[in-house]
Amino acid sequence: MVVHMDRAFFFDTVRRELFKGELTQPQVVGITAILDAWERRFADADRRWLAYILATAYHETAYTMQPVRETLADSDGRAVEILETAFAAGRLSWVKTPYWRPDEDGRSWLGRGLVQLTHKRNYQAMSVLTGIDLVADPDRAMEMDAAVTILIEGMLQGSFTGHKLADHLNATTADWVNARRIVNGTDRAEKLAAYAMAFDAAIRPDAAHGMRARLKAWGAHVIARLRSGAPRVR
C-alpha cells in the first residue's frame, strides 16, 4: 500500500531534530530531490530504506544535502591536493591505491555526489545504471539527478559493497547500525543509525511520538558502551 508522506510534518521534524532549527534553500532542494525520486519509483517500498538513504546523504555531504566532492573541495585539483597530503601523512591507512590520482586521460576517480562514488570501476557501473557516461565525464556525478539515482539505486541494489538495504532493514530485522555496511563498513555506524532513526520518525508520523525516547535510549546505550570500555563501532 502506498502511503504518501506528510511533507510539512517531515520538514518540521528534520529541521528541529537534525538541522538545528534551520534549513537552507540548498538543503531543502537536495532533500526534495531525494523524496521526489523515491516517491516516483519506490513509494510502496519500506520507508525505513528511505530514512537510511537520507541519513547517508546527510552524513556523506556534511549535512549540505548537495552533491559534493570528497574533502568538500571546490575543484578536483584541490581535492587531490588534500587527499595526497592526508595519504602522505598516513591518515588514509585503509587506502592501498590512491584512486584520486589522475589517470592517463587526466581523469580523477575521487569521491563525488550524495554518496561518495570512488574508483573507476564504480563510475563504470554507475554509468550503466544512470545511462550517463560518467567515465567520459566523472563530474557529472555531481549533477543532482545523477547523484540521486546513484544514491538510491546503489543502496537498493548493493552496488557499493555488496550489502543492500533489504539485508539490514526487512520484515524481521531493523539493524540500523550494520546498515552502514551498504556504503562504508562500520565507519561512524552508530551516528548514521541515530540520523536514520530521526529521519524515520519524520517520514512516519506514527513513529514520531516515540522518537525522542528511542534516541535517548540509543544515546544511553552508546554512553554505557563507552563507560564499560567495550569496543566502539568505528
pLDDT value at residue 231:
46
CB 49 within 8 A of CB 155: yes
Q: What is the Cα 42 distance to its own chain's centre?
A: 17
Q: What Å distances lie between residue 50 and 35, 76, 183, 191, CA to CA?
A: 8, 30, 15, 17
DSSP structural state of residue 202:
H
pLDDT value at residue 24:
98
pLDDT value at residue 213:
56
Interatomic CA distance for residues 182 and 165, integer angstroms = 7
Considering only the C-alpha atoms of the chain, give the largest distance between any 2 of them, rounded to a whole number of Å.
Answer: 55
24 C-beta neighbours (distance < 10 Å), count:
13
Name the residue among 161, 185, 220, 182 with its Cα closest to residue 52: 182
Interatomic CA distance for residues 166 and 232, integer angstroms = 25
pLDDT value at residue 1:
44
The whole-model pTM stands at 0.87
**Rounded-to-10 torsion of CA 59, 65, 71, 73:** -170
Q: Which three cell numbers stand for residue 3?
A: 502511503
pLDDT value at residue 204:
82
150 C-beta neighbours (distance < 10 Å), count:
27
pLDDT value at residue 131:
94
DSSP structural state of residue 139:
G
Task: Encode the chain (234 residues) as per-residue pLDDT tens digits.
Answer: 455 789 999 999 999 999 999 999 999 999 999 999 999 999 899 999 999 999 999 999 999 999 999 999 999 999 999 999 999 999 999 899 999 999 999 999 999 999 999 999 999 999 999 999 999 999 999 999 999 999 999 999 999 999 999 999 999 999 999 999 999 999 999 999 999 999 999 998 765 555 555 555 555 555 455 445 544 433
Interatomic CA distance for residues 141 and 123, integer angstroms = 8
Spatial CB neighbours of 175, under 8 Å, sequence gap ≥ 6: 168, 169
Residue with cell 552502514: 180
- Write the DSSP string, 35-72: HHHHHHH-TTS-HHHHHHHHHHHHHHTTT--S-EEGGG
pLDDT value at residue 99:
96
Instruction: For strands 68-69 and 112-113, give the pairing.
Output: antiparallel
